[in-house]
Structure 1
Amino acid sequence: MNGERSLPLHVQKAVVGRALVYQVLDLHQVPLEDAGYGLLWTAVRDRLQTSTAVQLAFDPPGSLGSYLNQLGADLRGALSFFCRDAERACAALLDDIARVLAEAGRAHDELLGTVFTDALEAAADVYYRHGLHDSQDMVKLVSTSFGHLHGSVQSELPIQLAATTYLQDLPEGPSANVDVVINPDLLDELTVFSLPYVMLHECICHVLQGPWQAERVQADAASRFAEGWMDVVAYVVHQAMDNPRRAETAGPGLLDTLRTAARQEAAEKVHRARYAQTRDRAWAQRAMGARAAWSIVALMGRVPEGGSDPSAFVELSVKLNTSSFTNEQRDLFVTGVHKATLQGQADPCLEQQVRTYLKAHDLEYLVHNILRLFT
């Protein structure tokens, strides 16, 4: 990556502390509730909220590592046990919190920065696997900046974070900056667990948008292709990942949810929220793109040339996203697919075009024919 702007240290402490402890709390919630000690679990979460709020409000001195160790001790000291059974039941939770915070405190990497770096490298790998090898070079010119505010984040998503990509092509090649704004006061589990999907969306949909050999044009915020269709790609890729962090990356990370399903469940909620009806008509554009994409996923999974693996859909999508087709042509392609699948089943002409594409992988032939037949 080209560089990054980080959060102030006192905000980093609160964000990292909450994010890490939320993961451990999620892992232990069901066993403690089942054993009848759900109130103790709630007491730890409440103490986490209070401790990190104090960090935000008063900015006490000290390093991130020292704060995380202090936070672990603070959470352990928050509980008063009424019997030995309760103490034993909570021991694993408190020990895991202490271990995770201690490991993070010893980390040399800037943990928030690695959140984006890991997502960017995972996205570049997706493009690389489908023959777009220049994606590995593009990541070197991408930068990210983290900011914070203490009011509500303006977003259509039900999370306390907003991420926006700005294309900033340089003489040496295509580049982008991803601006991430967090509300640390209201940072919750849904925001933390959906981080990998949200970051993948920015990288897969926008950072790696093409064409890479010419000046790129920023897609509209209501683009049927960029914000609807390509978001399905990001979601499909995310849900297929065992862990979004790269295997060769050592040490703790904010994306390493201890329960993989927690990350997947959060991604599903946020993914669906992108297409929920709002006062802004842009939701319908995103919804049209998503419905068209899911229709193609289903069609490719049904025809003999396809298969249950969505890799053919992902390949088609990333190649279209990096092609010489304009943003308007990509949106019209989505409109055509949506029109051809509006009645609940694919138009026979669309099915024939898709089957031909799966045999020959001729993207230009497919796009031009969809535009000719259905727009």
Structure 2
Amino acid sequence: MQKAVWGRAFVYQMLDLHQLTVEAAGYGLLWNEVRGRLQALTARQVEFDPAGPVSGFLTTLAEDLRSSMMPFPDGGAEKVCSPMLDDIERLLADAGRLRNDPLQTLFTDTLRAAAGAYRACGLPLPDDMVTAVEVSFDHQSAPVDSALPIQVIATTRLGDTPSGVSAHVDIVVSPTYLDELTVFALPYVLLHECVCHVFQGPWGPGRIQADADSRFAEGWMDHIAYTVACDQARALAGGKPASSLSAVPRPGALREAADQVHRARHQPHPRDRAWAARAMGVRAARNLAELMTRLPELAGRPVEAAAAFRRLSLRLNVSEFSNTQRDLFVAAVHKATLARTEHGLVVQLRRYLERDDLVHLVEGTVKLFT
């Protein structure tokens, strides 16, 4: 299973990087042939699981992908396809020398990025809360049954004890059905778990898990996780293969995948009754973020407004407020910004910016409609 996941994940990066060049030159059929060959070889690995090191499998995979295109039909095909095959070969060779599982590395990097987002907002996230987080990876042969268009499921279980807080993140991947969207969406998917759930407050034993239809945890905070994922992708240099699932050669692929999966989370789905609650949370978050850019205190300073909104959201996620109270706040913001902006919400928000009083903001906003 592990070999197939590594093979697909890294080859998908190179196929993505070269796709438009190959397609524009008129050799899209060859690109599709390489992709099809990749899926067939990795599916065979999953089914029969032949023995041998990961490095050996990746080397053989690169050789087989190259041989599947030989001989080139003409000089033009060789000119545009050879760089792609060379990049695949180099990246798989580098991946074969990795000492750690790239999925584990990705989770560790994502956990640090999430902790960094909280600390950047002045929230003193304890080091032992980060180190107490555990992660497990599993595989399944059947396709993932999910309302989302990806072949991975990630869930967080809070496991607080009297001695401190902890969390366990379970990640299940379907190697046989692993596609490009899943690979490029992984940083965002894991950021959702870490930003929304792992570091949920209040930071003390006895935290209560938010429900799957929580407007705040699954909607509002998912919007925050999405913006963090986009910021992380924009910060990447790109261009050079790095045998990493986060530092991909075309960072735009991460933003595109995050956007597609983020939108899918709050789109109507016949088997997902919670989509409307998530949609309300996302809409309320976007509306309040946009409102903050129009307030006199932040007008003309979009970067500062975005930072202020993120800080407000993360503070609320770690606050003493219960999950129910957070959801009531989201519902009130949604109602106050649904058709036109209620003046009372503007007053509450401006007072928050002046006094930095989160309790007054939440309680005052909820009282607008009670």
TM-score normalised over the length of structure 2? 0.94
Report how many residues are paired. Answer: 361
Question: Is contact 1:13–1:55 with CA below 8 Å preserved after alignment?
Answer: yes
Alpha carbons 1:336, 1:371 under 8 Å: kept: yes
1:363 aligns with 2:358: yes
List runs of 5+ in structure 1 lacking aligned partners: 1-10
Q: How far apart, in 1, do the equivalents of 2:126 and 2:181 lie?
A: 30
Q: 2:133 & 2:231 partners in 1: Cα distance?
A: 25
Which of 6, 9, 12 is the equivalent residue of 1:19?
9
The answer on 1:147 being equivalent to 2:146 is no
Aligned mate of 2:291, from 288, 299, 315 = 299
One of 103, 106, 114 as aligned partner of 1:115 = 106
- Provide the residue aligned with 2:276 in structure 1: 284
Query: CA separation in 2, counterparts of 1:59 and 1:351?
Result: 60
Task: Give the Cα–Cα distance (whole angstroms) in 2 for the partners of residues 77 and 139 of structure 1.
Answer: 46
Matched, 1:327 2:323: yes
Aligned-residue CA RMSD (Å): 1.7
User: Would you say 1:313 and 2:305 are equivalent positions?
Assistant: no
- Aligned equivalent of 1:266: 257
Deviations 1:318-373 (A, max 9, x none): 11000000000000000110110111x32111012112212222111101101111
Partner of 2:22: 32
1:26-54 Cα offsets, whole Å, 9 max, x none, are: 01000111111111111111110111011
SS at match of 1:219: coil
Does structure 2 retain, via aligned residues, the 8 Å contact 1:142–1:177?
Answer: yes
In the alignment, does 2:56 pair up with 1:69? no
Matched, 1:167 2:158: yes
Partners of 1:78 and 1:332 in 2: how far apart?
58
Cα offset, 1:137, TM superposition: 2.9
Counterpart of 1:353?
348
> Aligned partners of 2:204 and 2:76: how far apart in 1?
65
Q: SS in structure 2 opposite 1:374?
A: coil
The residue aligned with 1:128 is 119
Query: What SS does structure 1 have at the residue aligned with 2:365?
Result: helix
Counterpart of 1:236 (choices 221, 227, 235) is 227
Amino acid at match of 2:367: R
Structure 1 distance, partners of 2:193, 2:235, is 14
Conserved 8 A contact 2:233-2:252: no
Structure 1 CA distance for aligned equivalents of residues 22 and 254 of structure 2: 20
CA contact (8 A) 1:128 1:135 kept: no
Contact kept, 8 Å, 1:337 with 1:374, in 2: the verdict is no
**AA matched with 1:362:** D
What CA distance in whole angstroms lies between the structure 2 residues aligned with 1:169 and 1:214?
Answer: 5
Structure 1 pair 365–119 and aligned structure 2 pair: CA distance change class (3 A): same
Q: Tell me, in whole angstroms, the C-alpha distance in 1 between the residues paired with 2:84 and 2:236.
A: 24
Separation in structure 1 between the aligned mates of residue 234 and residue 56 of structure 2, nearest angstrom = 28
| Sequence identity (%) | 53
Give the match's secondary structure for 1:166.
strand
Kept in 1, the 8 Å contact 2:161–2:206? The answer is: no
Kept after mapping to 2: 8 A contact 1:243/1:260? yes
In structure 2, do the counterparts of structure 1 residues 61 and 23 end up closer, same or farther at CA, with 3 Å as the change threshold? same
Return closer, same or farther for 1:143/1:271 CA change in 2, 3 Å cut-off. Answer: same
Describe the SS at the equivalent of 2:302: coil
Cα offset, 1:183, TM superposition: 1.1
Moved more, 306-315 or 231-240: 306-315
* Cα deviation code 1:217-268 (max 9, x no counterpart): 000011000000000000111112236889xxx9631122211111101111
- Aligned residue in 1 for 2:243: 252
Are the counterparts in 2 of residues 124 and 136 from structure 1 also a CA contact under 8 Å? no
Secondary structure of the corresponding residue to residue 62 of structure 1: coil
The 3 A distance-change label for structure 1 pair 259 and 135 is farther
SS at match of 1:104: helix
Alignment of 1:192 onto 2:183: yes
CA shift for structure 1 position 100: 0.8
Provide the C-alpha distance between the structure 2 equivalents of 1:13 and 1:244, rounded to a whole number of angstroms: 29
How far, CA to CA, are the matches of 1:304 and 1:235 in structure 2? 27
Rounded to whole Å, the distance in 2 between the matches of 1:252 and 1:305 is 44
